[in-house]
C-alpha cells in the first residue's frame, strides 16, 4: 500500500496557492467588501421571545424616520417557507415566533445607524406561549409542540417525523440484547455536548439587486451556489435561473454558511426598496442568531468480552435542531456512523434522533455529525480500557476496522489506514510514557469520516496564450481546494500550476456543483476537471497531428507543445488556430463519486448509508492539569490522518492543523451558553475560541492509503480533524488527573468542581 | 452608536469643553472598554471628550521614592518600562494579560481604573501596590488612596468632571516583591475569572513587615483581603500561615455567578490562587 509513490511534476508538490498573493496583499475581494452604487443597508428585527403569538406589529412610526427606505414584515411580502429537509423556516415570522432571534421584520435605510433606529421604532406585542428548551424533554408525549402544525409542513420522504421529533435514523443488525448477555462486562454512560459557532471571521453578508420584477442577483458568501439559488427561487416563487448567486470571496465558512444567511433578507428588502440592499450580520447576531453546531445528548451502552473486544453496542444520539430542523435530521443520521465508530461490531442498534426545541435553529459546523458522538464513543473506549486494565491504544488495536472488514453499515472496508495512524500517532507522542509526571497525561482518540458524494462539473478552455481556463461551480473557502484541483489539471495538461486560470462561484456562468462542503471540494472538482482535461487533450492532439502532418500516436507532448521529431506546435498556436477556425478548444466533464455498496437491511431512514472513500484519523495529545485551578495546558498535539494522497501537502497540513485547533476550541473553551433559549454569552468577549497561546504547534503525520476513486488516490480531508479533539483531550485530562469529564467543554470549573 | 467627539489638548481644556456640554458626556482615552459599552448599549453618551492627545499624561516619571505613571500610559507602555517592571513584577504581569496586543496598544492605565471593573487586571495589581491616585478636577487637584477609588462595578469616587492624572507607586527597595496571577478560560484575550495580586515586604530578618493582597472578580469591586494581610504582617511566612491566610482571603470574597464561572468555582479557586501568589512572592524574597 505504501510503496514509494510515483513522482509527478505538479501534484504532490508544495506549490504556492493561486489565490495566495491577493489574500496576503489585501487585493482579494470578499463578499463583505462588495458594494453597489445607491446601495442601502438592511437590519433585522428579531424576536425576544422563545415562543409567542404576535398580537400586533406596527411599523408606522419606523417608516417615518429619516433615511428609512423600506420595511418588510411577514405580512407585507408573500414569501414561501423554506428548509433543506423540512419547510419549517419562515423568512419573517407571520403569526407566531418560535425562537429568540427569529426575524420579524427587516429595515432598509440609508445607513446602518438609521436602520438600527428604525428597528427600535417598530412596535410589536406578543403573547407568550409555552416553550421547551431541552431536546430530551421535547421528546416527551406531553411536551409543548414547537410546530403544532408539523404534519402540514412539507418534508423530504426520508424524514421520520413525530411531533417534536424531526428525524430518526436507525442502524440495526445482529441481536444486541443477546450480545449484552454474552458480554463479560457492559458499560453504560451518558455524554453531553454544547452548541458551538462555526467560527468564520467574516460575518454572513449579502448584497441583493433586482434588475426587473422577477430577476435578481445576490452577491454573498454562500459556499453552496446552487443550493442557495434553489432556496431563494423557492422563497420568492421564481424560476431558479432568474436568481443569480455570485460569491466574490468568502472569509471562512466551516459549514456555518451552508444554509441561507442574509441572502433572503437582502432580496426581500431590495425588492421593497427598489434599490440594492446590503445586509450583514453583526458579531452579536453571529453569536446569538447564527446556525450553531447542535448540542447533543448521547446515551451509549457497550458490551465487551474479557479481552476488551466489542460484543454489542447500543446507542442513541439526540441532537437539538432548535426551532427549525435545519441540518439537524442529516446531522443525527450521519452521527449514527460516528457513534458506532471505526470498529468491528457484531451486534448493534444505533439511533440518531433530531428534535425541535424553542432554541435557536442550528446548522452545520465542520464535520457536522462528528465531534459529539466521537466524544462519547472514544471517551467510553478509554473508560472500558481502564476498567479492564488495558492500555487505551491496545483496546483500539483489538477493535479497529482493518482491510476487508465489514463496517456497521454493512460496507466492506478497503484502503484502511487506521492501524497505521494509531501506531504513528502513538509513537510520535511517546505513548509508552503515558503518565510522564504528576498531573500530566496523554490521551488519544480515533475516528473515521467519509468523502461526501454529490456531483461536480467543469468547463475548460484553452486560451490564446497557451494557458488554460477552468470554470467550476464551487467556492474557494480558503482551504486551497481549487489550487489542489488546478494542480491536478496542470499535471494532466503538462502545464505549470500558474498556467491554470480558475473561474468559480457564479451560478449563471459556472457549471452545476454540489458545492464546497463535505470534504469533497478538491476531490470531486479535480476528478471532473481531470476528465475534461483528458477530453481537451484528445482534441488538441487531433488538431496538432493535422497541423504537423503526423500520426497522433507519433506525437510527443512536452513544454506546452506537441512535437513530431524536431517540428512542434505550441498550445498557444493550437489555441489561436482553433479560435480562428472552429470557435476554440473547449471541453467539459462531470463527475460523481461511485456509490458504495452497503447492507441496506441494516439501516432505516439513513441519509448517507454508504461511506464513500472513508478517511481514518487518530489524534493524540499530551496535557497538564493544574490541580489547584483546574486549568488544562496542552503540551503537545499530534494528528495522524489517512489522507489517501497529498495533492499539496502544505495546504493539507494547514487543514489538519486548523481543524485540530477548532476541535480543541470545542474541547476546552467554546460553548454557546443558553438559558431558556436566550444566549448568555453573545459576544466575542465571552464566546472563547482558542488563541495562539492556547494551542501548541500541531504535529501532523500524513498517512497515505489511496482511495480508488480519489484523484491520485486522495481522500476528503477538510472536516475530519475537528472530530477527535474533544475525546482526545478528555482522555488526556483523565490520564493526567483522574477526572473523567462527560460534558463539553472541559472547563477548569468542571475539572475542579464536578 | 452615535456621539460627538471633542478633542482636549490639556486637562483644563477638557474641563472647558465639559462646562459647555449637557449632562451625559464622558471622557474617553483608549476607549477599549467604553466603546464596547456604548455599542452594546450598557452606557450612553451623546458627547465624548477625548483625552488621548494630552501627551503630558503619557509619561512615567521616576524619582528616588516613587514612580509616577501618567494616566494615559498604555498597558504596553507599562509592560515595556524596564525600571518599573523590575521593581514591580506584578504590574508587568497584569499589564501583559489585558486583552490582546491591539487592546494593550491603546487601552490606558487610567482607563483601567476609571472603568472600575471588578475584574480589571492592572487595577488589582495597583491595589496591591498601595498606589496613590492623583486626580484633577475643575476646582483643583487631590490625591486619594487607590483603595478609596473603587465603589462598585463601574462606579468610582471620582466627581463628575474629575479625571485621573497620574498613579503613583512608592518604591520599597529590595526587600519587597509583588506577584500577579489570574485564572481564565483561555491563556490570552481573557477577562479574569479570578485574579490575585500580592505584594510583600520583609524585614532583614525575614519577618513580613507589610502584606497587601488584592483580588479581582470576586466581589463588586477590586478588593483587598485585609484580614489575610493582617495575619501575615509581623510573622515569618511559612506554609501553614500561607494556607491560613489564603483561607481567610477566600472568606473575604463575595463572588457572583455569571456565564464565565460560578460563584462556587471562584470561591474554590481564589484560595488556591492566593496561596500560590503568596508562596511565589515569599520565595522570591527569600532568594
* pLDDT tens-digit readout, A336-361: 999 999 999 999 999 999 999 999 99
Q: Residue A754 has what pLDDT?
A: 83
Q: How many CB atoms lie within 10 A of CB A60?
A: 10
B-chain CB neighbours of A683 within 8 Å are 40
Contact A604, A172 (CB under 8 A): yes
Q: A331 vs A261, A263, A323, A372, CA distance in Å?
A: 19, 23, 15, 10
Beta strands A347-356 and A310-322: pairing type? parallel
Report the C-alpha dihedral over residues B116, B119, B125, B129, rounded to 10 degrees: 50
Contact B125, B214 (CB under 8 A): yes
The reply to whether residue A690 touches residue B186, judged by beta carbons under 8 angstroms, is: yes
Beta strands B208-216 and B194-202: pairing type? antiparallel
B245 closest CA partner among B230, B256, B259, B266 = B230
**How is chain B split among helix, strand and coil, in percent rounded to 5?**
35, 25, 35
**3-state class of A272 per DSSP?**
helix
The reply to whether residue A628 touches residue B272, judged by beta carbons under 8 angstroms, is: yes
- What is chain B's length? 287
Percentage, residues of chain A above pLDDT 70 = 99
Nearest-Cα distance to chain B for A753, in Å, is 7
Q: A485 vs A468, A711, B221, B267, CA distance in Å?
A: 13, 9, 58, 55
**3-state class of A339 per DSSP?**
helix
CB burial of residue A215 (10 Å; 0-12, 13-18, 19+)? middle
Backbone angles phi, psi at B61, to 5 degrees: -100, 135
Instruction: Measure CA B142 to chain center.
Output: 19
Q: Residue A372 has what pLDDT?
A: 98
A220 closest CA partner among A77, A272, A231 = A231
C-alpha cell at A101: 432571534
pLDDT bracket for residue A633 (50, 70, 90): very high
Instruction: Catalogue the E-assigned strands of A418-477.
Output: 440-449, 456-462, 468-472
Contact A596, A610 (CB under 8 A): yes
pLDDT, mean of residues A70-75: 97
Buried b vs exposed e over A404-417: b needs ≥16 C-beta within 10 Å?
A: eebbbbbbebebbb
pLDDT tens-digit series, residues A715-752: 999 999 999 999 999 999 999 999 999 999 999 999 99
DSSP string, A532-543: HHHHHHHHHHHH
- The Cα B136–Cα B158 span in angstroms is 9
pLDDT, mean of residues A460-486: 97
A-chain CB neighbours of B264 within 8 Å are 753
**3-state class of B182 per DSSP?**
strand
Would you say the C-alpha torsion A567, A568, A569, A572 has a positive or negative sign? negative
Q: Residue A4 has what pLDDT?
A: 59
pLDDT at residue A2 above 60? no
Beta strands A468-472 and A205-212: pairing type? unpaired
For chain A, which domains are there?
34-129+201-252+257-288 (3.90.1170.50), 296-452+598-753 (3.30.365.10), 454-591 (3.30.365.10)
Closest-CA residue of chain B to A634 = B187
Nearest-Cα distance to chain B for A623, in Å, is 14
**pLDDT, averaged across chain A:** 97
Closest-CA residue of chain B to A749 = B265
The reply to whether residue A284 touches residue B40, judged by beta carbons under 8 angstroms, is: yes
Q: Residue A5 has what pLDDT?
A: 59
| Beta carbons within 8 Å of A686's beta carbon, 6+ residues apart | A680, B191, B259, B260
pLDDT bracket for residue A1 (50, 70, 90): very low
pLDDT tens-digit series, residues A393-446: 999 999 999 999 999 999 999 999 999 999 999 999 999 999 999 999 999 999
C-alpha cell at A707: 482511495
- Report residues of chain B scoring pLDDT below 70: none
**3-state class of A500 per DSSP?**
strand
- What is chain A's length? 754
Place of cell 477548569: A748
Would you say the pTM of this structure is higher than 0.95? yes
* Chain B residue set in contact with A, beta carbons under 8 Å: 1-2, 36, 40, 100, 183, 185-191, 259-262, 264-265, 268-269, 272-273, 275-276
| Beta carbons within 8 Å of B66's beta carbon, 6+ residues apart | B168, B169, B170, B171
A235 closest CA partner among A360, A84, A96 = A84
A-B Cβ pairs (cutoff 8 Å, strict): 60
The reply to whether residue A694 touches residue B186, judged by beta carbons under 8 angstroms, is: yes
Percentage, residues of chain A above pLDDT 90 = 99
B-chain CB neighbours of A681 within 8 Å are 259
For chain B, which domains are there?
4-50 (3.30.43), 56-170 (3.30.465.10), 176-286 (3.30.390.50)
pLDDT bracket for residue A7 (50, 70, 90): confident
- First and final CA of chain B: distance in angstroms? 53
| Beta carbons within 8 Å of B214's beta carbon, 6+ residues apart | B124, B125, B127, B128, B196, B197, B198, B222, B223, B224, B225
Of B36, B40, B268, the CB nearest to A753: B268
Report the C-alpha dihedral over residues B93, B99, B105, B106, rounded to 10 degrees: -120
pLDDT, mean of residues A105-117: 97
The helix or strand, by DSSP H or E, that contains position A527, with its residue range, turns out to be: helix A521-548
- The Cα B246–Cα A719 span in angstroms is 47
pLDDT tens-digit series, residues A488-544: 999 999 999 999 999 999 999 999 999 999 999 999 999 999 999 999 999 999 999
Going by the DSSP 8-state scheme, the letter that residue A475 receives in this structure is -
pLDDT at residue A622 above 90? yes
Amino acid at each position: 500500500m505504501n510503496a514509494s509513490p510515483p513522482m509527478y511534476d505538479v501534484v504532490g508538490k508544495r506549490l504556492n496557492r493561486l489565490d495566495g498573493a491577493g489574500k496576503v496583499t489585501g487585493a482579494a475581494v470578499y463578499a463583505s467588501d462588495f458594494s453597489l452604487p445607491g446601495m442601502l443597508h438592511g437590519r433585522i428585527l428579531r424576536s425576544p421571545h422563545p415562543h409567542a403569538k404576535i398580537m400586533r406589529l406596527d411599523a408606522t412610526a419606523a417608516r417615518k424616520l429619516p433615511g428609512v427606505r423600506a420595511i418588510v414584515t411577514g405580512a407585507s411580502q408573500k414569501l414561501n417557507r423554506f428548509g433543506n429537509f423540512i419547510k419549517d423556516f419562515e423568512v419573517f415570522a407571520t403569526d407566531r415566533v418560535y425562537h429568540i432571534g427569529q426575524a420579524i421584520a427587516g429595515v432598509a435605510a440609508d445607513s446602518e445607524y438609521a436602520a438600527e433606529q428604525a428597528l427600535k421604532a417598530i412596535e410589536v406585542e406578543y403573547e407568550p406561549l409555552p416553550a421547551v428548551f431541552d431536546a430530551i424533554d421535547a421528546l416527551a408525549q406531553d411536551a409543548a409542540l414547537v410546530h403544532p402544525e408539523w404534519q402540514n409542513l412539507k418534508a423530504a420522504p426520508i424524514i421520520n417525523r413525530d411531533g417534536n421529533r424531526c428525524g430518526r435514523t436507525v442502524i440495526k443488525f445482529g441481536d444486541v440484547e443477546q450480545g449484552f448477555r454474552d458480554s463479560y462486562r457492559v458499560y453504560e454512560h451518558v455524554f453531553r455536548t454544547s452548541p458551538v459557532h462555526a467560527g468564520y471571521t467574516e460575518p454572513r453578508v449579502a448584497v441583493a439587486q433586482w434588475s426587473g420584477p422577477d430577476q435578481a442577483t445576490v452577491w454573498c458568501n454562500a459556499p453552496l451556489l446552487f443550493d442557495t439559488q434553489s432556496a431563494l427561487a423557492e422563497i420568492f416563487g421564481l424560476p431558479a435561473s432568474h436568481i443569480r448567486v455570485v460569491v466574490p470571496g468568502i472569509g471562512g465558512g466551516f459549514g456555518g454558511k451552508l444554509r441561507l444567511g442574509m441572502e433572503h433578507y437582502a432580496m426581500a428588502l431590495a425588492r421593497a426598496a427598489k434599490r440594492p440592499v446590503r445586509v450583514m450580520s453583526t458579531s452579536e447576531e453571529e453569536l446569538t442568531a447564527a446556525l450553531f453546531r447542535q448540542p447533543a445528548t448521547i446515551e451509549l451502552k457497550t458490551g465487551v468480552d474479557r479481552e476488551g473486544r466489542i460484543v454489542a453496542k447500543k446507542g442513541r444520539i439526540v441532537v437539538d435542531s432548535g426551532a427549525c430542523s435545519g441540518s439537524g435530521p442529516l446531522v443525527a443520521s450521519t452521527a449514527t456512523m460516528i457513534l458506532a465508530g471505526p470498529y468491528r461490531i457484531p451486534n448493534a442498534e444505533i439511533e440518531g434522533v433530531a428534535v425541535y426545541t424553542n432554541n435557536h435553529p442550528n446548522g452545520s459546523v465542520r464535520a457536522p455529525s462528528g465531534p459529539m458522538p466521537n466524544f462519547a464513543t472514544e471517551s467510553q473506549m478509554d473508560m472500558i480500557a481502564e476498567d479492564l486494565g488495558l492500555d487505551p491504544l491496545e483496546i483500539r488495536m483489538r477493535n479497529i476496522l482493518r482491510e476487508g472488514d465489514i463496517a456497521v453499515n454493512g460496507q466492506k472496508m478497503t484502503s484502511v489506514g487506521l492501524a497505521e495512524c494509531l501506531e504513528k500517532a502513538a509513537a510520535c507522542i511517546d505513548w509508552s510514557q503515558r503518565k510522564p509526571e504528576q498531573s500530566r497525561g496523554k490521551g488519544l482518540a480515533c475516528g473515521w469520516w467519509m468523502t461526501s458524494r454529490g456531483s461536480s462539473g467543469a468547463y475548460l478552455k484553452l486560451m490564446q496564450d497557451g494557458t488554460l481556463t477552468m470554470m467550476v461551480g464551487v467556492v474557494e473557502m480558503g482551504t486551497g481546494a481549487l489550487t489542489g484541483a488546478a494542480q491536478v489539471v496542470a499535471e494532466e495538461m503538462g502545464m505549470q500550476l500558474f498556467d491554470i486560470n480558475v473561474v468559480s462561484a457564479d451560478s449563471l456562468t459556472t457549471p452545476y456543483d454540489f458545492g464546497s462542503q463535505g470534504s469533497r471540494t478538491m476531490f470531486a472538482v479535480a476528478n471532473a476537471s481531470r476528465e475534461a482535461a483528458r477530453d481537451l487533450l484528445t482534441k488538441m492532439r487531433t488538431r496538432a497531428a493535422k497541423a504537423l502532418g503526423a500520426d497522433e500516436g507519433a506525437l510527443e507532448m512536452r513544454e506546452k507543445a506537441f512535437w513530431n521529431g524536431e517540428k512542434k506546435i505550441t498550445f498557444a498556436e493550437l489555441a489561436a488556430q482553433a479560435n480562428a477556425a472552429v470557435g476554440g478548444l473547449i471541453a467539459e466533464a462531470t463527475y460523481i463519486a461511485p456509490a458504495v455498496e452497503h447492507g441496506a437491511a441494516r439501516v432505516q431512514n439513513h441519509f448517507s448509508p454508504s461511506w464513500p472513500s472513508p478517511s481514518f484519523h487518530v489524534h493524540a495529545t499530551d496535557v497538564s492539569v493544574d490541580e489547584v485551578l483546574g486549568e488544562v495546558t496542552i503540551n503537545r498535539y499530534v494528528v495522524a490522518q489517512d489522507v489517501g494522497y497529498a495533492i499539496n501537502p502544505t495546504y493539507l497540513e494547514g487543514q489538519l492543523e486548523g481543524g485540530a485547533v477548532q476541535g480543541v476550541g470545542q474541547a476546552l473553551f467554546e460553548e454557546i451558553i443558553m438559558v431558556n433559549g436566550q444566549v448568555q454569552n453573545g459576544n466575542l468577549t465571552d464566546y472563547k475560541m482558542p488563541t495562539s497561546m492556547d494551542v501548541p504547534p500541531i504535529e501532523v503525520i500524513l498517512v497515505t492509503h489511496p482511495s480508488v476513486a480519489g484523484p491520485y488516490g486522495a481522500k476528503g480531508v477538510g472536516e475530519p480533524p475537528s472530530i477527535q479533539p474533544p475525546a482526545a483531550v478528555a482522555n488526556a485530562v483523565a490520564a493526567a488527573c483522574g477526572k473523567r469529564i462527560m460534558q463539553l467543554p472541559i472547563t477548569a470549573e468542571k475539572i475542579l468542581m464536578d | 452608536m452615535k456621539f460627538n467627539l471633542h478633542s482636549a489638548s490639556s486637562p483644563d481644556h477638557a474641563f472647558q469643553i465639559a462646562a459647555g456640554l449637557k449632562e451625559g458626556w464622558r471622557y474617553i482615552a483608549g476607549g477599549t472598554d467604553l466603546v464596547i459599552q456604548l455599542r452594546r448599549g450598557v452606557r450612553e453618551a451623546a458627547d465624548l471628550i477625548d483625552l488621548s492627545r494630552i501627551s503630558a499624561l503619557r509619561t512615567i516619571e521616576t524619582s528616588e521614592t516613587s514612580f509616577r505613571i501618567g494616566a494615559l500610559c498604555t498597558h504596553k507602555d507599562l509592560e515595556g518600562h524596564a525600571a518599573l517592571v523590575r521593581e514591580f513584577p506584578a504590574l508587568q504581569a497584569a499589564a501583559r494579560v489585558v486583552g490582546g496586543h491591539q487592546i494593550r496598544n491603546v487601552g490606558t492605565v487610567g482607563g483601567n481604573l476609571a472603568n472600575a471593573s471588578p475584574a480589571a487586571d492592572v487595577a488589582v495589581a495597583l491595589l496591591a501596590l498601595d498606589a496613590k491616585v492623583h486626580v484633577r478636577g475643575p476646582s483643583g487637584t487631590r490625591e486619594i488612596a487607590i483603595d478609596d477609588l473603587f465603589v462598585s462595578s463601574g462606579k468610582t469616587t471620582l466627581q463628575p468632571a474629575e479625571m485621573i492624572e497620574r498613579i503613583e507607586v512608592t518604591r520599597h527597595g529590595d526587600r519587597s516583591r509583588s506577584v500577579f496571577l489570574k485564572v481564565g478560560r483561555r491563556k490570552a484575550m481573557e477577562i479574569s475569572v479570578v485574579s490575585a495580586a500580592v505584594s510583600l515586604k520583609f524585614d532583614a530578618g525575614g519577618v513580613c513587615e507589610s502584606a497587601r493582597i488584592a483580588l479581582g472578580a470576586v466581589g463588586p469591586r477590586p478588593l483587598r483581603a485585609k484580614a489575610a494581610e493582617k495575619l501575615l504582617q509581623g510573622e515569618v511566612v511559612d506554609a501553614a500561615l500561607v494556607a491560613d491566610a489564603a483561607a481567610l482571603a477566600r472568606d473575604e470574597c463575595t463572588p457572583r455567578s455569571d456565564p464565565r464561572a460560578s460563584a462556587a468555582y471562584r470561591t474554590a479557586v481564589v484560595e488556591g490562587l492566593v496561596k500560590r501568589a503568596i508562596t511565589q512572592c515569599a520565595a522570591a524574597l527569600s532568594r
